[in-house]
Structure 1
Amino acid sequence: MNARKLFWILFLLNLFNYIDRQVLFSVFPLIQQELQVTDFQLGTLASVFMLVYMCYAPVVGFFADRHPRQYWIAASAMLWSAATFLSGWAKNYASLLTARAFIGVGEGGFTTIAQPFLAEQYPKNKRATVLAYFALALPAGSALGYLIGAAAGAAWGWRVAFMLVGAPGFALGLLACWQVKDREHRRLDNRKKPGLGQYLLLLQNKPFLFLCFAHAMQTFVLGGLSAWMPTYFHRFFEMGVGTAGTVFGAVVIAGGALGTFIGGRLADWLLKKTDHAYFAVILASFVLFIPFAGAGILSHRTPFSLITFFVAITLIFLPLGPISAALVALSGRKVRSMAFAFNIFLIHALGDALSPALIGRMSDAVGLKMAVMACVGILLPGGLFVYLAAKYARAEGRLIRYYAQDSLAE
């Protein structure tokens, strides 16, 4: 199978990965009205997904580096699709919470494997761009989730919204099982397959670890804003549920796509000038995001807030490709699924497994505006972690070795 065909299969799976994940947030007010739940309970629907997602990732990461990965990709897609569809049949809050947990299992299995699997199909000097293109599914899928959820929810109710987005993953999962082939797995005999001890070795990889911490801070903010901004628009900009989801979806797909595209291309261009191109792009995006997001929150003028939010969304999506490419660079080929699994566990344990529920809890106490402002400030320590990752990468010469050979593990 050629790399381009593989890319499109994985991209479409990733697109529905985010559609199915994000459709929930545009129908928050409708679920709250029908099921009579608090803001904290709404936030917990997002948090339970992430808790399961992050805990499952290290398990699937270990087995994926030991067995053909296409079967894990296919099974994961069909599982999360079924759970999304069945969310529309939830009879109460507990059953909806359970369905969200199973979506976490399916999507955790896919995300852990897909990025390193795709990166192996391309040369190193193109990986940030390719992974950025792959990551375009995040803003596109998130926006489509908001838009479909808003439109279907307003027309037919929140249950139909889940059913509409849940079905396509089955066909894509079957296609992946048939078309995707794991060539790397055939090259490893049992003696070369990694063991669980590799997770402990990743803890000793300081650049990798600090990059994971920085990624966690970005994930905290992105997850918190994804969960609550449609509701924020509804409350403070006096938009209807459908309009709020549509407007925020438009901001995400335009700003997110622009930021993701620019971030990947910029990182690969800077790579010709410095080994620390990935870190430079990530740090710049963190530093610039805070004032733009803060201005949007503090302003009482809706047009100005929407413009600054658009710039902020563009900036927070800028590092998606560079972060993934840097994670590939700082881990070995034989353990990349485990490395990404470790990263997934850490970024969600410290990031968006917490932020939706914490923002909901803080919103119940002091209001949603203050809660969102506190969320934005989390990128301050994120910038420090990026600096430390770059510092240790230079001191240990990891990126120099990466560009001198195919991976550090070989």
Structure 2
Amino acid sequence: MNSLKDTHTVGHSAQQQEPLVPKKDIREGLLIFILAAIQFTHMMDFVIMMPLGPQLMRVFQISPREFGLLVSAYTFSAAIAGFVSALFIDRFDRKHALLALYLGFIIGTLGCALAPTFGLLLTARVVAGGFGGVLGALVLAIIGDAIPEYRRGAATGRVMAAFSVASIAGIPIGLYLASEMSWHAPFYLLVGLSLIILLGSVRFLPPMRGHLTNAVPGNPFQVLKAILVQRNLQWAMSLMLALTVAGFLVVPFISPYMVANVGFTERELSYIYLFGGLATVFTSQWAGRLADKYGKQLVFRAAALISLVPILLITNLPPVQHYVALLVSTVFFIFFGARFVPAMSLMTSSVEPKLRGSFMSISSSVQQLGAGIAALVSGFIVQEAADGKLVHFEWVGIMACVVTLVAVWVVQHIRTVG
């Protein structure tokens, strides 16, 4: 069998173009492992901000609105960077683009570790978001290029399980370091781990040039036009926008709400992500396999509709026993992940390979923009009462349910093309 390198570099006609990895073997497994490792660090960098919320609000003496800005700064930066990168990202070897973005992400994360003030931390989050947002989109584009459509759901599930691993290991360790040392410590840990993964990626990732065979030549704005005028891709982006808004109306304030309203301590927050991650590391992969077997749209609709229940529960949770709160949060994370896996797989299958990198960058920008707006909206709606409790979180839950129902309606309009 040809090597991965040969598979990427040998030209094919549009009719003969094959997946970058033609057989399910050890090399496909290594590729998915590296992508999952990169996704792990990227996701940990993003999600660690939310459980650190109570500590950051206390240390910097900031309001929920300012914390919402801290979260959304990352996503707004990622949105802008995604639109810019869409002009040229499909013109490069996927490996070279991935390594360059990962290096920039590491530099931004190091800036977070070194930041002594709220203003400098906000600036560092902008830098990390500019590289990290495009990085996540490129990882999904590589899956779309490398993995055949009939195995793409399972592969997406394995890479998306990086969020679960970040929740199981990364967030509890990060919160422990933050409580024992300072909030800077998790970012130092993340920088060190990312450097190791970067060196491994340089050594083991193969060249990835298969998408260049039928690349769109000429003015890069023609690429954007080719993407934006396709109705199928408009529906795909609408799906991810709705799904992201629904999630990020709720997620940024789960940790502050659990501390202020339910009775968790800052140290105990790690259990929310530990149990949620342990569950979703399996359920995300099951969702991917079910999507391949029964259809991505069917599995998405089922997961999205069931997710309405834990959304309403977690945003209306009164002071209860910790095991009850952990059960609710775990179910929330299970269906939060279960709906994303078939949606991501469906999105990568909705675009032809020659446009996939640019489309994933634009789609990532739309998602990040939606996440930033959702976090800001939540920051304006959720208020801190005189007794320190957070109020109006239930309004956010109702909004998230409505947007989820919009996503269920949108998904029926999307078709797969490759």
TM-score by length of 1: 0.87
For residues 272-287 of structure 1, the aligned pairs below 5 Å read 277-287=295-305
Q: Deviations 1:356-379 (Å, cap 9, x if unpaired)?
A: 232222122776352254245324
Candidates 345, 350, 358, aligned match of 1:330: 350
Work out whether 1:253 is the aligned partner of 2:238. Answer: no
Runs of 5+ unmatched residues, structure 1:
271-276
For residues 19-58 of structure 1, the aligned pairs below 5 Å read 19-58=44-83
Q: Partner residue of 2:306?
A: 288
The Cα of 1:129 is off from its aligned counterpart by: 0.8
Higher helix share: 1
Q: Partner residue of 1:197?
A: 222
Instruction: Give the secondary structure class of the aligned counterpart of 1:25.
Output: coil
Alignment check: 8 A CA contact 1:132 1:263 kept: yes
Q: Partner residue of 1:382?
A: 404
Instruction: Give the secondary structure class of the aligned counterpart of 2:220.
Output: coil
Alignment check: 8 A CA contact 1:297 1:305 kept: no
Q: Partner residue of 1:146?
A: 171
The Cα of 1:169 is off from its aligned counterpart by: 1.2
Alignment check: 8 A CA contact 1:211 1:386 kept: no
> Aligned Cα RMSD in Å?
2.4
The Cα of 1:10 is off from its aligned counterpart by: 1.1
Matched pairs, number? 388
Q: 1:15, 1:43 → 2: CA distance?
A: 23
The Cα of 1:97 is off from its aligned counterpart by: 0.4
The Cα of 1:62 is off from its aligned counterpart by: 3.0
Q: Partner residue of 1:168?
A: 193
The Cα of 1:335 is off from its aligned counterpart by: 0.6
Alignment check: 8 A CA contact 1:85 1:167 kept: no
Alignment check: 8 A CA contact 2:172 2:273 kept: yes
Of 12-21 and 139-148, more deviation after overlay is shown by 139-148
One-letter code of the match for 2:128?
Answer: I
One-letter code of the match for 1:308?
Answer: V
Of 9-18 and 373-382, more deviation after overlay is shown by 373-382
One-letter code of the match for 2:138?
Answer: I
Q: 2:258, 2:334 → 1: CA distance?
A: 18
The Cα of 1:191 is off from its aligned counterpart by: 6.3
The Cα of 1:346 is off from its aligned counterpart by: 1.3
One-letter code of the match for 1:179?
Answer: F
Q: Partner residue of 2:7?
A: none
For residues 1-400 of structure 1, the aligned pairs below 5 Å read 1=4, 2-185=27-210, 187-188=212-213, 192=217, 195-244=220-269, 246-270=270-294, 277-300=295-318, 301-302=320-321, 303-350=323-370, 352-364=371-383, 368-371=390-393, 373-375=395-397, 377-390=399-412, 392-393=413-414, 398-399=415-416
One-letter code of the match for 1:134?
Answer: V
Identical columns (%): 14
Q: 1:178, 1:194 → 2: CA distance?
A: 34
| Shift in CA distance, 11/212, structure 1 to aligned 2, threshold 3 Å | same
One-letter code of the match for 1:237?
Answer: V
Instruction: Give the secondary structure class of the aligned counterpart of 2:213.
Output: coil
Q: Deviations 1:233-272 (Å, cap 9, x if unpaired)?
A: 111221211112x1221233034324312210111111xx
Alignment check: 8 A CA contact 1:65 1:338 kept: yes
Instruction: Give the secondary structure class of the aligned counterpart of 1:12.
Output: helix
Of 294-303 and 284-293, more deviation after overlay is shown by 294-303
Alignment check: 8 A CA contact 2:315 2:393 kept: no
Q: 2:390, 2:282 → 1: CA distance?
A: 28
Instruction: Give the secondary structure class of the aligned counterpart of 2:65.
Output: helix
Q: 1:187, 1:217 → 2: CA distance?
A: 31
| Shift in CA distance, 183/160, structure 1 to aligned 2, threshold 3 Å | closer
Q: Deviations 1:30-70 (Å, cap 9, x if unpaired)?
A: 22222222111111111000000111012223322001121
The Cα of 1:290 is off from its aligned counterpart by: 1.2
Q: 2:260, 2:410 → 1: CA distance?
A: 39
| Shift in CA distance, 186/230, structure 1 to aligned 2, threshold 3 Å | closer
Runs of 5+ unmatched residues, structure 2:
5-26
The Cα of 1:101 is off from its aligned counterpart by: 0.6
Q: 2:243, 2:390 → 1: CA distance?
A: 20
One-letter code of the match for 1:353?
Answer: G
Q: 1:6, 1:220 → 2: CA distance?
A: 30
Q: Deviations 1:318-357 (Å, cap 9, x if unpaired)?
A: 122211221122111001011111211112222x112223
